[in-house]
A and B are shown apart, each in its own frame.
With several copies, the nearest count.
Chain A
Amino acid sequence: MKLLENGKRLDGRALDEIRDVKIETGVLKRAAGSAYLEWGNNKVLAGVYYPREMHPKFMRDPTKAVLRCTYNMAPFSVDDRKRPGPDRRSQEISKILSEALSSVVLLEDYPDAGIDVSVEILQADAGTRCAGLTAAAVAIADAGIPMRDLVSSCAAGKIDGEIAVDLMKDEDNYGDSDVPLAILPRKKEVVLLQMDGKMTKEEFKKAYKLAFDGAMKVYEVQKAALLSSMDSVEGGE
Chain B
Amino acid sequence: MELEGYLRGDYIRNIIKEGKRLDNRKFDEYRNLEIEKGYVGEKACGSAFVKLGDTKVLVGISMDAGEPYPDSPGQGVMTTSTELRPIASPYFESGPPRQNSIELARVIDRGIRESGAIPTDKLAINDEKVWVVYIDIHILDNGGNLIDAGGIAAISALLDTRMPKFEDDTIIRGEWDGKLPIECTPIPCTVAKISDQLLLDPTQDEEYAMDTRLTIATTDTINAMQKGGGFGTLTDKDVDDAVELAFSKGNEIRKLVEG
Do residues A84 and B83 form an inter-chain contact, with CB atoms below 8 A?
yes
Cα distance, A52 to B91, chains bound together (Å): 12
B residues in contact with A196, CB < 8 Å: 110, 113-114, 223-225
Q: Are A76 and B227 in contact (CB under 8 A)?
A: no
In contact, A118 and B87 (Cβ under 8 angstroms): yes
What is the distance, in angstroms, from A205's C-beta to the closest C-beta of chain B? 8
Query: Please, how many angstroms separate the alpha-carbon atoms of A96 and B113 in the complex?
Result: 21
Within 8 A of A (CB), among B185-235: 212, 214, 216, 221-235
Stretch among A182-190, A215-223, A227-235 lining the B interface: A182-190
* A residues less than 8 Å from B20 (CB atoms): none
Q: What does DSSP make chain A's interface, helix, strand, loop or mixed?
A: mixed
Are A81 and B86 interface neighbours, CB within 8 A?
A: no
CA distance A94 to B45 in the complex (A): 27
Interface size on B, residues (CB 8 A): 68
Per-residue B-contact encoding for A83-113, CB less than 8 Å = 1, 0 else? 0101011011011100100110000000000
Q: Is B136 an interface residue (CB 8 A)?
A: yes
| A123-B222 in contact (CB<8A) | no
Residue of A nearest to B218 (CB): A201
Tell whether, in the assembled complex, residue B88 and residue A30 are in contact, meaning their CB atoms are under 8 Å apart. yes
Report the minimum CB–CB distance from A130 to chain B (whole Å): 14
- Min CB distance B192 to A, Å, is 14
Does B21 touch A at the CB level, under 8 Å? no
A123 touching B43 by the CB < 8 A rule? yes
The chain B residue with its CB closest to the CB of A116 is B86
Query: Is B42 a contact of A190 with CB atoms below 8 Å?
Result: no
State the interface size on chain A (CB cutoff 8 A): 62
A134 beta carbon closer than 8 Å to chain B:
no
How near does chain B come to A236, taking the closest CB pair, in angstroms?
20
CB interface residues, A 3-57, toward B, < 8 Å: 28-31, 34, 41, 43, 45-47, 49, 52
Highest count of chain B CB atoms <10 Å: which of A28, A189, A196, A199: A196
Kindly state the separation between the CA atoms of A88 and B106 in the bound complex, as whole angstroms: 8
Q: Which residue of A lies closest to B1 (CB)?
A: A52
B43 and A193 contact, CB distance less than 8 A: no
Contact partner of A199 (CB less than 8 A), chosen from B83, B221, B230, is B221
B72 close to A (CB within 8 Å):
no
CA distance A186 to B213 in the complex (A): 22
- A125: which B residues are within 8 A, CB to CB? 42-43
Residues of B within 8 A of A192 (CB): 227
Residue contact B221 to A52, C-beta cutoff 8 Å: no
Main secondary structure on B side of the interface with A = mixed
B238: which A residues are within 8 A, CB to CB? Answer: 190
Q: Are B136 and A193 in contact (CB under 8 A)?
A: no
Pick the contact of A120 from B87, B115, B234, B240 — CB < 8 Å? B87
> For residue B43, which residue of chain A has the nearest CB?
A123
Q: Which residues of the partner chain A approach B56 to less than 8 Å between Cβ atoms?
A: 28
Please state if B239 and A95 are interface contacts (CB–CB under 8 Å): no
What's the Cα separation between A194 and B114 when bound, in Å?
A: 13
Interface string of B15-56 (1 = CB under 8 A from A): 000000000000000000000000110111101000000101
Evaluate whether A52 and B234 lie within 8 angstroms (CB atoms) in the complex, with A76-B136, A190-B227 already known: no
Q: Is the CB of A198 within 8 A of B114?
A: yes
Contact partners of B88 in chain A: CB under 8 A = 30
The complex places the Cα of A76 from the Cα of B81 at a distance, in Å, of 12
Whether the Cβ atoms of A77 and B87 lie closer than 8 Å is: no
B102 engages A91 (CB within 8 Å): yes
Q: Give the nearest-CB partner of B60 in chain A.
A: A76
Residue A78 at the chain B interface, CB threshold 8 Å: yes
CA distance A122 to B94 in the complex (A): 17
Q: Which of B121-129, B139-147, B249-257 lies at the interface with chain A? A: B139-147
Known: A84-B83, A122-B39, A191-B227. 7 other contacts (CB 8 A): A91-B102, A99-B212, A99-B228, A103-B231, A189-B233, A195-B222, A200-B221
Can you give 11 A-B contacts (C-beta < 8 A)? A46-B87, A76-B62, A80-B64, A81-B136, A91-B99, A92-B103, A99-B230, A103-B232, A116-B86, A193-B225, A194-B224
- B binding-site residues for A, Cβ under 8 Å: 39-40, 42-45, 47, 54, 56, 58, 60-62, 64, 81, 83, 85-90, 94, 97, 99-100, 102-103, 105-106, 110, 113-116, 134, 136, 138, 140-143, 173-174, 212, 214, 216, 221-236, 238-240, 243, 247
Q: Which A residues fall within an 8 A CB radius of B?
A: 28-31, 34, 41, 43, 45-47, 49, 52, 70, 72, 74-81, 84, 86, 88-89, 91-92, 94-96, 99, 102-103, 116, 118, 120, 122-125, 177, 179, 184, 187-201, 204-205, 208
